[in-house]
Amino acid sequence: MDKPAAPATADGWEPKIVAFFCNWCTYLAADLAGTSRMKYAPNTRVIRVMCSGRVDPQFVLEALAHGADGVLIGGCHPGDCHYQSGNYKALRRFRLLKRMLLAFGIEDERVRLEWISAAEADKLRDVVNEMVAQVKALGPARLGTPPEDWAVGLEEEADEEVEGVTV
Amino acid sequence: MSADTNGQPRIGVYVCHCGTNIAATVDVEAVAEYAAGLPGVTVSKTYKYMCSDPGQELIKEDILANQLDRVIVAACSPSLHEATFRRATAAGGINPYYFHMVSIRELDSWVHTDIVEATAKAKDLIRAAIHRVRFHKPLERARVNVNPAVMVVGGGIAGIHAALTLANAGKKVYLVEREPSIGGHMAQFDKTFPTLDCAACILTPKMTEVGQHPNITLWTMAEVDKVDGYVGNYQVTVRHKPRFIIEEACVGCMECIEVCVFRRGKTPDEFNLGLNMRKPVYIPFPQAVPQVVVIDQDACIEFRTGRCKKTCVEVCAERNAIDFTQTETFDTVEVGAIVVATGFKTFDPRRTPSYGYGVYPNVYTAMEIERLVNASGPTEGHVTLRDGRTPETVGIVHCVGSRDVNTNEHCSRVCCMYSLKLAHLVKEKTGAEIYNFYIDIRAPGKGMEEFYNRVAEEGVHFIRGKVADVYPEAGNTGRVVLQAEDTLLGRVRKIPVDMVVLATGLEAQADADEVRRTFNITCGGGGFFMERHPKLAPVSTFTDGIFLAGCCQGPKDIPDTVAQAGAAAAEALALVDKGFVEMEPNTAYVVTEECSGCKTCIPLCPYTAISRVDGKAYINPVLCKGCGTCVAACPSGSIRQNLFEDEEIYEEILGVLANA
Ligand SMILES: Cc1cc2nc3c(=O)[nH]c(=O)nc-3n(C[C@H](O)[C@H](O)[C@H](O)COP(=O)(O)OP(=O)(O)OC[C@H]3O[C@@H](n4cnc5c(N)ncnc54)[C@H](O)[C@@H]3O)c2cc1C
Ligand code: SF4
Ligand code: SF4
Ligand code: FES
């Protein structure tokens, strides 16, 4: 289980995965994976944000547009966000983003939102390994530059979408 | 995206070897050389230990010698040394927020094995930082005054010790305990290992001191309902459960208990684990603090029928301390820091049915035996079976609910030692033959191995093997047979005993998850509260101003609990005594000219930091905690976040992908 994902494919292509981890849970899980000397696939590049709620869908698109083959967003479990509810906001934004990404032809496995608590280093390792394997199977991502105004109205729509959902 | 690069930066990059922790897996020289070639990088170096004094000195000197205006250290996790290097940056005379830290240890060298891949990753991460720091701005830490009062939650030995330490230092302390008395588990013990000193003799004076201390407000039967605010300025709402006794009026004469219409108790006595019965009006134990009785609503006739003679009220006519009309009440207090000391619960052995707890009457938990050996316990210290007989043979089963993947993986740390203590005490009181079934004897710590040797010399038997089964002996003897594979002799042993003692392990409290959410702290493995760093910040949490003490953080014995409680008190004291805290300047702010006044952001903020001023959004920097949720949501991109500006994050994205 501790083995990193399979080595490079025949042509030497390795997927690159940009990861946005919240400071209080998933980033700490990554720290713990480190102090526990767990081994996982070397394909992620972590960008720390204070909360998964900070992750603007535009970040994900930028990453894909600039050559990321996958994007992983990591936050605290529902109810555990250090800022009470940022992860719920992340989730509803994520749902809309996913719908749009599918329309752009970005496969489901490429963009993931995962709740990984500070104690779940093993989950972090498993999610990364699984995702790397899946993205490897899909091959490189191809996303052209998204239209300038794609995000306009996203937040309003998000509001309508989750009307009545208690956070 | 507007790019404010503050002119051409002069960046210093420092790649740490961390001994071989990084250098063995990441080719640090190659990384530094690579960084040296990137735009804006003025110096790029490696050093054995960047966090050491010479490492920090290096940064400082380079800033001065090379007019560096940005500093990047690629080393361990920012949660460890970001503050250190910010200080070093400031020591060089530039704003500490021109610094950025890159983790190439926790995120790279420690989790990968291939040096080529790990080196490539380190380069990507450092490149992202080089992109990012160009957009860094000088920032100031805001100073906020700190309320000097401290709250301690949980009145076991940990909470008691922390509260007294703080109160003796002159601080106002609120001690919140949910039971009718403070004391926690320790109050239930007769003797404590390894010294076998009397628990009551060392605990009671401390409990009394708490009750009488002018700086301590003791709230029993109380729980924390809500915590608002932030480090230095928490508003804590405490819920008081009704005691049906006016605490100030009751003198603890206990006459009401005597005259209660119940001649004998009919409710299992919680303090004695149900080994005897108590009345609806009772005092948890003789040394309880506060020395005040309590009425159990579920058992009291007056509550159940409204037609009790209320002999208790009659006898208390003079003091008139009984009040059946009490209801739940709330108090909100302001404190600067909080010590969480909510302790543990013991494993419920019904979860491992093969031990027969709850099935065979003579299978007990260790806690029950603690009460049986206790001179003020239900049997006045006589160790007798439920049928009144004195046991002649006793089996003690170690590691019940510990060191077992099916229950708890962790070692509960105190069970071996308390098993030896109970072996000694039961032998002393009954002369019984005692068999300890153990996996390993764990006796680390001062005086522990000596204690083990002492008990072994007393003739207690030790059988190395895990008990697989407990079943009744044939022929209706009332005894049960303990069956275990003796791993030293290599054969199965079956030992009939009169009494079985299950050394149940320590677990996180059943409500640890809710408590953790109330205080916005994290649970680690097994549900115990997680410390900020196991070695460097063992009593801090990830929420500033909230500290941990005692078994709520993990199983430990009384000496370690008290030491930790002292440490938590010292940390809390260091915080509140200083009088102010400096806040991380990662707050969000609105660029007013760009705000369309759409109000999208306002309901998103969990701290109601955003309001509308003159038709535009305004963020109160004191209330903003910097989550960045509003920043991501603003449709016109007019909210920014210090330290996490959009430009900074976009540059990081471009930076990590520049080679993709
Ligand atoms: C059978 C047994 C025997 C032991 N014998 C020894 C021994 O001989 N020597 C030794 O050194 N150690 C011994 N220990 C270990 C010892 O019990 C612990 O080290 C010690 O009790 C830890 O103290 P604490 O204050 O952290 O927790 P606790 O004693 O559990 O106290 C926690 C307190 O917090 C209160 N509380 C819990 N949740 C809340 C809440 N949400 N709000 C308000 N209050 C709350 C509880 O009511 C309790 O009063 C033994 C343990 C066991 C199980
Ligand atoms: S979401 Fe943005 S534009 Fe709308 S009110 Fe808030 S700051 Fe102004
Ligand atoms: S960053 Fe978070 S805490 Fe600050 S104003 Fe925005 S939503 Fe509120
Ligand atoms: S802080 Fe982790 S998701 Fe909000």
* Per-residue pLDDT at A9 exceeds 60: no
**Is the residue at A26 inside a domain?**
yes
Chain length of chain A? 167
**Cα(B285)–Cα(B582) distance, rounded to whole angstroms?**
45
CB nearest A83 (choices: B110, B530, B627): B627
Contacts of B121 in chain A (CB under 8 A): 42, 45
At residue B532, φ and ψ (nearest 5 deg) are -65, -45
Q: What was the pLDDT predicted at A166?
A: 38
Q: Which residues contact B384 (CB under 8 A, 6 or more apart)?
A: B372, B390, B391
Q: Which ligand has the shortest distance to the CA of B618?
A: 2
Report which bound ligand comes closest to the CA of B179: 1
Say how many Å lie between the CA of residue A102 and the centre of ligand 2.
28
Choose which residue among B218, B408, B410, B414 to substitute to test ligand 1 binding: the one with the highest number of ligand atoms within 8 A of its C-beta: B414
pLDDT at B1: 35
Cross-strand bridge partners of residue B331:
B238
What is the pLDDT, as a whole number, of residue B618? Answer: 96
Residue B370 sits at φ, ψ, to 5 deg, of -55, -40
pLDDT of residue B39: 94
The DSSP secondary-structure symbol of B262 reads -
* Mutate: best of B107, B130, B228, B659, partner A, most A CBs <10 A: B107
Tell how strand B467-472 and strand B480-486 pair up. Answer: antiparallel
Number of independent structural domains in chain A: 1
Does A9 fall in a domain?
no
As a whole-number percent, the residues of chain B with pLDDT over 70 amount to 99
CB of B398 closer than 8 Å to CB of B502: no
Distance A64 CA to ligand 4 centre (A): 23
**φ and ψ of B219, to 5 deg:** -115, 105
In the sheet that B329-335 helps form, which strands lie side by side, from edge to edge?
B222-230, B233-240, B329-335
How far apart (Å, rounded) are the C-alpha atoms in residues B131 and B134? Answer: 6
What phi, psi does B434 have (nearest 5°)? -120, 130
**Which of these, A43, A95, A40, lies nearest to A71 by C-alpha position?**
A43
Name the band, by pLDDT with cuts 50, 70 and 90, for residue A148. Answer: low
Give the model confidence (pLDDT) of B437-489 as tens digits: 999 999 999 999 999 999 999 999 999 999 999 999 999 899 999 999 999 99
Question: Is A142 a residue whose pLDDT tops 90?
Answer: no
Cβ atoms of residues B166 and B573 within 8 Å: yes
What angle, rounded to 10 degrees, do the helices at B448-457 and B415-430 form?
Answer: 30
pLDDT at A165: 39
Domain that holds residue A97: 17-161
**Cα separations (Å) of B378 from B192, B370, B597?**
19, 11, 70
Distance CA B539, CA B521 (A): 12
What pLDDT shows up at residue A143?
73
**Three-state SS sequence of B25-45:** CCCHHHHHHHHHCCCCEEEEE
- CA–CA separation, B564 and B158 (whole Å): 8
Amino acid code (one letter) for B443: A
Distance between terminal CA atoms of chain B?
22
The long-range contacts involving B468-473, CB below 8 angstroms and separated by at least 24 positions, are B468/B354, B469/B354, B470/B354, B470/B355, B470/B356, B470/B360, B470/B363, B470/B500, B471/B356, B472/B360
Interchain contact, B78 vs A39, CB within 8 Å = no
Dihedral over Cα of A78, A81, A86, A87: its sign: negative
Q: What is the pLDDT of residues B536-570, one digit of tens each?
A: 899 999 899 999 999 999 999 999 999 999 999 99
Q: How far apart are CA B88 and CA B53, in angstroms?
A: 9
Report pTM: 0.87
How confident is the model at residue A6, as a pLDDT?
A: 41
Low-confidence ranges of chain B (pLDDT < 50): 1-5
Is the Cβ pair A49, B626 closer than 8 Å? no
Q: Is the CB of A82 less than 8 angstroms away from the CB of B657?
A: no
Express each pLDDT in A99-118 by its tens digit: 999 888 899 999 999 999 99
| Amino acid A147: pLDDT | 55
Q: What's the whole-number average pLDDT of chain B?
A: 95
| Mean pLDDT for all residues in chain A | 85
CA angle at residue B465 from B462 to B466, to 5 degrees? 125
Under 8 Å CB-to-CB from B535, ≥6 apart: which residues? none
* Rounded-to-integer distance, Cα B176 and Cα B220, Å: 6
What's residue B603's pLDDT?
94
Chain B residue numbers with beta carbons less than 8 Å from the beta carbon of A83 are 606-607, 625, 627, 629
Q: Do A68 and B660 touch (CB under 8 A)?
A: yes
DSSP secondary structure letter of residue B97: G
Residue A50 lies in a domain: yes
The CATH number of residue A105's host domain is 3.40.50
Q: Read out DSSP for B403-457?
A: S-TTS--S--SSHHHHHHHHHHHHHHHH--EEEEEES-----STTHHHHHHHHHH
B653–A66: do the CB atoms touch at under 8 Å? yes
Tokens linked to B556? 């430990």
Query: Residue B122: closest CA among chain A residues belongs to which residue?
Result: A45
Res. A5: pLDDT tops 80 = no
Place of tokens 């430990």: B556
pLDDT for residue A146:
55
Q: What is the pLDDT of residue A151?
A: 54
Which amino acid is it at B505? Answer: G
Q: Are B76 and B52 in contact (CB under 8 A)?
A: no
Residue A10 falls within a domain, yes or no?
no
Partners of B509 in beta bridges: none
Burial (CB < 10 A; 0-12, 13-18, 19+), residue B66, is middle
Amino acid identity at B333: V
Look at residue A21 and tell me if it is in a domain.
yes
Q: From ligand 1's centre to the CA of B344, what distance in Å?
A: 6
Give the phi and the psi of residue B11 in degrees, each rounded to 5: -100, 135
B449-458: burial string, b at 16+ Cβ within 10 Å, e else: eebbeebeee
Residue A27 lies in a domain: yes
Sign of CA dihedral B420, B422, B425, B431: negative
Query: Chain-centre distance of CA A19, in angstroms?
Result: 5
What pLDDT sits at residue A31?
Answer: 96
**For strand B99-103 and strand B70-75, is the pairing parallel, antiparallel, or unpaired?**
parallel
Mind telling me how many Å the CA of B528 is from chain A's nearest CA? 10
CA-CA-CA-CA torsion sign (A110, A111, A113, A118)? positive
Tokens coding B103: 């983790």
What single string gives the DSSP state of each residue in B508-574? E-TTHHHHHHHHT--B-GGGPBPPSBTTTBTTB-SSTTEEE-GGGSS---HHHHHHHHHHHHHHHHH
Ligand nearest to the CA of A77: 4
pLDDT at B15: 98
Report the C-alpha dihedral over residues B406, B409, B412, B415, rounded to 10 degrees: 50
What are the structural domains of chain B? Answer: 11-141 (3.40.50), 142-241+328-343+509-578 (3.50.50.60), 255-315 (no CATH), 345-507 (3.50.50.60), 587-641 (3.30.70.20)
Please give the Cα distance from B81 to B87 (Å, whole number). 10
Phi, psi torsion values for B331, nearest 5 degrees: -130, 140
Cα of first residue to Cα of last residue in chain A, in angstroms, is 35
Measuring CA to CA, which residue among B501, B509, B502 is closest to residue B555? Answer: B509
CA–CA gap between residue B198 and residue B205 (Å, rounded): 12
How many Å separate Cα B303 from the centre of its chain?
37
User: What DSSP line would sit under A27-62, residue for residue?
Assistant: HHHHHHHHHTT----TTEEEEEES-GGG--HHHHHH
Question: In terms of residues, how long is chain B?
Answer: 660
Residues B14/B50, Cβ–Cβ less than 8 Å: yes
The tokens describing B530, both together, are: 């997680």
Please state the φ and ψ torsions of residue B43, each to the nearest 5 degrees: -130, 150
CA distance B568 to B400: 30
DSSP B297: T
Please tell me which of the candidates A47, A57, A152 has its beta carbon nearest to residue B653: A47
Neighbour-count burial for B179-190, b at 16+ CB within 10 Å, e otherwise: bbbbbbbbbbbb
